[in-house]
Amino acid sequence: MIVGGALTGWLDALERLAGSRAKAGLTRQLRPRPADDFVVDLAGNDYLGLSAHPAVVGASAEALRAYGLGATGSRLVRGSTEAHAALESDLAAWLGAPAALVFSSGYLANLAAVRGLSAVADLVVSDAYNHASLIDGCKISGQRTVVAPHNDPAAVAAILDAHPGATAVVVTESVFSVDGDLAPLPALHEVTSARGALLLVDDAHAVGILGPRGAGAVAAAGLAGHPDVIVTATLSKSLGGAGGVVSAPRQFIDHLVDTGRTFIYDTALPPAVVAGVAAAIRVAAAADDRRDVLLTRGVHTVARLTAAGFEVAPPAAGVLSVLAPGPEAAVAWAADCRDRGVAVGCFRPPSTPDGTSRLRLTLNAGVSDEDFTRALDVIVECAP
């Protein structure tokens, strides 16, 4: 017989864990925003300001009328539409890859890519600052995983050399999601190619911003289309939509279609989102003016915050971070900014790989110059 206390004991345990998180300043809150939210957005990832672009919204609305609200099934049942096929063709051409496969989120794309490579690799070398989705992909891959010091090709080489005979894949972000620094992709590829290893790059924060026509950091490094390079990205950042993509040789894409659990068993991305993202690619590929805005704002932001006494590294793309004294201070800082009409990201452990809290700012090209300047003033004035 189950006693009443046994039924509620697990809830008491969760309450105690919540109390511990609260004492450490690690409680998180959902903050629903209205459609007419007029804050200056330096928190979201809509780097190029395309989420509300007329061409993007128009294409999405047209597909919504044509297909309805959802995809109605997984990609292998009823979820693959002509819009999905067209988007995958556009993505492969834009990113310079032989083929591409669209997922319903970037997180699922990363899980599929890392796990999929476990069929041909028995060692995974993962950068210490990698995103949670890559870390989780390493865990579910079932293969040996060695964590390499952040952005250290020599350390990666030493790890690979310490595992002779292993077939390895090195996993990294291109632009890292917390601090916005850029991985040394040419040096990493030199290390992997010399040792017969594969290189998997999560290009989420660089696609749309870096490289020719915004094709990403992998393209900027001259590595697009290399048979030993696999690229993942989200469609929810510079492209202003949702979903994720794996771009790679056709054989690997076919392998994911046949075996990728986060592809096979997941409902497909809605066609309206797919069509909107396809339109966003066309805008982004020709958006050198918006990329110039981000570059200029990055220089301006570093100068403004440095003059105010903060240590800020120049951003490699559209994201930079400002250190906070601690998690409570970071939460209060972000809240004060929000109260004054400026949304900023607040990153605390476990979201920060080094255990340090910070504000994360995104250089949104869709924000006016006047609002952007005012937002920086607010950030400085609200600093703890």
Considering 234, 263, 285, which residue would you say is the last residue of a domain? 285
Same domain, yes or no: 278 and 292 = no
Count of the separate structural domains present in the chain:
2
Same domain, yes or no: 243 and 365 = no
**Residue 118 · residue 141 · CB < 8 Å:** yes
pLDDT tens digits for range 125-184: 999 999 999 999 999 999 999 999 999 999 999 999 999 999 999 999 999 988 899 999
- Which residue type is seen at 39? V
**Does 277 reside within a domain?**
yes
Same domain, yes or no: 257 and 373 = no
**Does 19 reside within a domain?**
no
Residue 121 neighbours by CB under 8 Å, 6+ apart: 143, 167, 168, 169, 197, 198
Compute CA distances 311 → 144, 175, 214, whole Å. Answer: 37, 19, 28
| 3-class secondary-structure state, position 248 | strand
DSSP state of 177: T
Same domain, yes or no: 115 and 221 = yes
Same domain, yes or no: 133 and 244 = yes
Same domain, yes or no: 205 and 59 = yes
Same domain, yes or no: 58 and 158 = yes
Whichever domain contains 353, its CATH number is 3.90.1150.10
Of all helices (H) and strands (E), which one includes residue 288?
helix 288-307
Rounded-to-integer distance, Cα 347 and Cα 206, Å: 20
**Does 31 reside within a domain?**
no
Same domain, yes or no: 281 and 307 = no
**Does 80 reside within a domain?**
yes
> CB atoms < 10 A from the CB of 195, how many?
16
pLDDT tens digits for range 265-283: 999 999 999 999 999 999 9
pLDDT tens digits for range 197-216: 999 999 999 999 999 999 99
**Does 27 reside within a domain?**
no
Considering 263, 285, 307, which residue would you say is the last residue of a domain? 285
Per-residue pLDDT of the chain (384 residues; tens, 9 = 90+): 455 566 778 999 999 999 998 888 888 888 888 888 889 999 999 999 999 999 999 999 999 999 999 999 999 999 999 999 999 999 999 999 999 999 999 999 999 999 999 999 999 999 999 999 999 999 999 999 999 999 999 999 999 999 999 999 999 999 998 889 999 999 999 999 999 999 999 999 999 999 999 999 999 999 999 999 999 999 999 999 999 999 999 999 999 999 999 999 999 999 999 999 999 999 999 999 999 999 999 999 999 999 999 989 899 999 999 999 888 999 999 999 999 999 999 988 887 777 788 999 999 999 999 999 999 999 999 998
Q: Which two tokens stand for residue 194?
A: 């010399």
**Does 4 reside within a domain?**
no
Same domain, yes or no: 220 and 115 = yes
What crossing angle do the helices spanning 54-67 and 271-285 adopt, rounded to 10°? 150
User: pTM (2 decimals)?
Assistant: 0.94
Same domain, yes or no: 174 and 250 = yes
Same domain, yes or no: 227 and 345 = no
Whichever domain contains 196, its CATH number is 3.40.640.10
Domain span at 218: 54-285
**Does 11 reside within a domain?**
no
Same domain, yes or no: 264 and 338 = no
**Does 17 reside within a domain?**
no
| 3-class secondary-structure state, position 200 | strand
Considering 285, 310, 345, which residue would you say is the last residue of a domain? 285
